[in-house]
Amino acid sequence: MQKRVTFRNLWLPYLLLAPQVIITFIFFIWPASQALFQSLLVEDPFGLKSNFVWFENFEELFSNPLYLDSMLITAVFSIATTLLALSSGLLFAVLADRAVKGASIYKGALLWPYAVAPAVAGVLWLFLFSPANGIVAAVLRAMGYEWNHVLNGGEAMLLVVIAAAWKQIAYNFLFFLAGLQMIPRSVIEAAAIDGASPLKRFWTIIFPLLTPTTFFLLVVNVVYAFFDTFGIIHAVTSGGPAGATNILVYKVYADGFVGLDLGGSAAQSVVLMGIVIALTVVQFRYLERRVQY
């Protein structure tokens, strides 16, 4: 799509674009190309000498059991977070859509966790599950279960999943609600006249019609779980115990910034870049379809 009416000026458009393009080059494209380049080098931590090793860093990466573990952990973490956040968001949206009275109050009250930083969300849940003085941990103990996420990897994972999903429910709720409100009433009424129960109507009519929204949210949630949850992991578990919550994004940081393995960290960055590009492409291809739909 193009404008019919445009202005003519030789230098102004470049001047207007300059700030954005300069910042993009200095802080995005140059560092990213450095990461690509470094992923092919082996360098000592002081940067004194480096050898070009082609894809050795990648070979090492994919034969490193710790990295494969981290991939598996990331998969578990993202799938669990996405499922929990999506299903709760959908449940609340369906209910708020049904509730004629007070719908806007519910909407307002469900939205605000979105504004809480992931790291802060992590801290809140960390306190609830704190073995010494957390209220949820105390309730669990009363029921005969000793909760200690500092020692138990599975519990640590559950904790970060809950914290990550809690923050994202608001977002899913909002988009599901918008999706539900776009479904024509007549379709649902017709099914009701034919004798379909509310539950049946949901599974055979409403849910299929929500597919575009669900798919879109699926991608957004996976991106969120992959890249925006660094704060939760760093603040709550620091990847532990024994690497049980060491997701890829945290590992890049820990290996590169703390462990100073430049080549290995750069190779991990490149793998992550590939994941982002794939997810972005999926998102945009889907968006094209949605416009026609």
Partner 1 sequence: MIENRPWLAYVTHGVLVLGLIVISFPIYIAFVASTHEVENLIATVQPWFGGALIENYLTVLQSGKQNAGGVPVNTMMFNSLVMALGIMVGKISISIISAYAIVYFRFPLRMFFFWIIFLTLMLPVEVRILPTYKVVVDLGLLDTYAGLTLPLIASATATFLFRQFFLTVPDELAEAARVDGAGPIRFFVTILLPLSRTNIAALSVILFIYGWNQYLWPLLITTDTDMTTIVMGIQRMLFVADAVPEWNLTMTTAILAMLPPVVVVLVMQRQFVKGLVDTEK
**Site for partner 1, residues 210 to 269, rule: CB under 8 A:** 216, 220, 227, 230-231, 234-235, 249, 252-253, 256-257, 262, 265-266, 269
Site for partner 1 in 119-178 (CB under 8 A): 119-121, 123-128, 130, 132-135, 138, 166, 169, 171, 174-175, 178
CA–CA distances in Å: residue 56 to residues 63, 114, 153, 274, 275: 11, 42, 31, 18, 20
Taking the C-alpha atoms of residue 84 and residue 88, their distance in angstroms, rounded to an integer, is 6
Using the contact rule CB under 8 A, the part of the chain among 65-73, 108-116, 151-159, 204-212 near partner 1 is 108-116
Q: Which is nearer to partner 1, 157 or 252 (CB)?
A: 252
Backbone angles phi, psi at 184, to 5 degrees: -65, 135
Nearest approach, Cβ of residue 210 and partner 1 (Å): 16
Q: Are strands 41-43 and 50-52 parallel, antiparallel or unpaired?
A: antiparallel
Residue 271 identity: V
Nearest approach, Cβ of residue 165 and partner 1 (Å): 11
Nearest approach, Cβ of residue 38 and partner 1 (Å): 7
Nearest approach, Cβ of residue 146 and partner 1 (Å): 15
Nearest approach, Cβ of residue 237 and partner 1 (Å): 11
Number of residues that this document lists for the chain: 293
Is residue 19 within the footprint of partner 1 (CB under 8 A)?
yes
Which tokens belong to 123? 């801290």
Residue 39 identity: S
Using the contact rule CB under 8 A, the part of the chain among 55-63, 70-78, 114-122, 152-160 near partner 1 is 114-122
Q: Which is nearer to partner 1, 69 or 234 (CB)?
A: 234
Q: Which is nearer to partner 1, 26 or 242 (CB)?
A: 26
Is residue 66 within the footprint of partner 1 (CB under 8 A)?
no
Is residue 117 within the footprint of partner 1 (CB under 8 A)?
yes
Nearest approach, Cβ of residue 80 and partner 1 (Å): 17
Total Cβ atoms within 10 A of residue 81: 26
Torsion of CA 200, 201, 203, 207, to 10 degrees: -170
Residues 6+ apart with CB under 8 A from 88: 165, 169, 172, 173
Nearest approach, Cβ of residue 4 and partner 1 (Å): 5
Contact residue for partner 1 among 55, 59, 102, 204 (CB under 8 A): 102
User: Are 105 and 92 within 8 A, CB to CB?
Assistant: no
Q: Which is nearer to partner 1, 126 or 180 (CB)?
A: 126
Strand partners, 41: 52
Q: Which is nearer to partner 1, 80 or 213 (CB)?
A: 213
3-class DSSP state of 188: helix
Which tokens belong to 208? 């299929």
First to last CA, the chain: 19
User: Are 67 and 259 within 8 A, CB to CB?
Assistant: no
Is residue 48 within the footprint of partner 1 (CB under 8 A)?
no
Nearest approach, Cβ of residue 76 and partner 1 (Å): 19
